[in-house]
Amino acid sequence: KCRTGPLDIVFVIDSSRSVRPFEFETMRRFMVDIIGSLDVGPNATRVGLIQYSSQVQNIFSLKTFFTRADMEKAINSIVPLAQGTMTGLAIQYVMNVAFTTQEGARPLHKKIPRIAIIVTDGRPQDRVTEVATQARNAGIEIYAVGIQRADMNSLRAMASPPLEEHVFLVESFELIQQFGKQFQDKLCGVDMCVAQDHGCQHSCVSTPSSFYCECNPGYRLNADGKTCSPIDACADGRHGCQHQCISTRGSYSCHCRAGYHLNQDRRSCSMIDYCSFRNHSCQHECVSIPNGHYCRCHSGFTLQPDARSCRATDLCNGVDHGCEFKCVSMEGSYRCVCPEGQQLQADGKACTKCRAGHIDLVMVIDGSKSVRPQNFELVKQFVNGIVDLLEVSPHGTRVGLVQYSSRVRTEFPLNKYHSADEIKKAVMEMEYMEKGTMTGLALKHMVEHSFSELEGARPLSHNVPRIGLVFTDGRSQDDISEWARRAKESGIIMFAVGVGKAVEEELRAIASEPVEQHFSYSADFTTMTHLVENFKLNICPEEGKGVTEIRSPCECEALVQFQTNTVAILQSLTEKNILWAPSLAQLTARLEGLEKQMANKK
Beta bridge partners of residue 255, listed in sequence order:
244
- Each residue of 363-382: pLDDT tens digit? 999 999 988 999 899 999 98
Read off the pLDDT band of 398 (50, 70, 90).
very high
- pLDDT given for residue 169 in this prediction: 83
- Each residue of 71-115: pLDDT tens digit? 999 999 999 999 999 999 999 999 999 999 999 999 998 888 899
Read off the pLDDT band of 555 (50, 70, 90).
very low
Distance between CA 46 and CA 139 in Å, rounded? 16
Region of 384 please: left (phi>0), alpha (psi -120 to 50) or beta: alpha
Q: Please spell the DSSP secondary structure of 126-162, one letter per residue.
A: S--HHHHHHHHHTTEEEEEEEETT--HHHHHHHSPSS
The pLDDT of residue 576 is above 70: no
315-353 and 360-536 in the same fold: no
Phi, psi (degrees; rounded to nearest 5) at 247: -80, 135
Instruction: Give percent above pLDDT 90 in the chain.
Output: 41
The residue that leads in pLDDT, 571 or 375, is: 375
- Each residue of 302-360: pLDDT tens digit? 788 898 888 786 777 766 788 888 888 876 678 888 765 456 777 888 776 555 458 89
Q: Return the CATH superfamily for domain 315-353.
A: Laminin (2.10.25.10)
- Cα-Cα-Cα-Cα torsion 86, 90, 91, 96, nearest 10 degrees, comes to 140
- pLDDT given for residue 545 in this prediction: 40
- Each residue of 253-283: pLDDT tens digit? 999 988 888 999 989 999 888 888 877 889 8
Helix (H, G, I), strand (E, B) or coil at 57: strand
**Pairing state between β 140-147 and 114-120:** parallel
The pLDDT of residue 132 is above 90: yes
- Each residue of 176-186: pLDDT tens digit? 666 666 666 66
The pLDDT of residue 601 is above 80: no
CATH of domain 360-536: 3.40.50.410
189 neighbors 209 (Cβ within 8 angstroms): yes
- Each residue of 423-476: pLDDT tens digit? 999 999 999 998 899 999 999 999 999 999 999 999 988 888 999 999 998 899
Distance between CA 574 and CA 568 in Å, rounded? 10
Distance between CA 283 and CA 360 in Å, rounded? 43
CA 523 to chain centre: 39
- pLDDT given for residue 182 in this prediction: 61
CB under 8 Å to 327, separation ≥6 — which residues?
A: 315, 316, 321, 334, 335, 336, 529
Read off the pLDDT band of 208 (50, 70, 90).
low
Region of 294 please: left (phi>0), alpha (psi -120 to 50) or beta: beta
- pLDDT given for residue 411 in this prediction: 95
So where are the chain's domains? 7-188, 315-353, 360-536
The pLDDT of residue 558 is above 60: no
The pLDDT of residue 62 is above 80: yes
The residue that leads in pLDDT, 298 or 130, is: 130
The residue that leads in pLDDT, 525 or 460, is: 460
- pLDDT given for residue 401 in this prediction: 96
CB under 8 Å to 310, separation ≥6 — which residues?
A: 283, 284, 295, 297, 298, 301, 302, 303, 304
- pLDDT given for residue 541 in this prediction: 47
- pLDDT given for residue 1 in this prediction: 47
Read off the pLDDT band of 548 (50, 70, 90).
very low
Q: Return the CATH superfamily for domain 7-188.
A: von Willebrand factor, type A domain (3.40.50.410)
285 neighbors 259 (Cβ within 8 angstroms): no
Beta bridge partners of residue 221, listed in sequence order:
228
DSSP 398: E
The pLDDT of residue 207 is above 50: yes
Helix (H, G, I), strand (E, B) or coil at 382: helix
Q: What angle in degrees, to the nearest 10, is found between the helix axes of 581-601 and 556-575?
A: 180
- Cα-Cα-Cα-Cα torsion 350, 354, 360, 366, nearest 10 degrees, comes to -50
DSSP 459: P
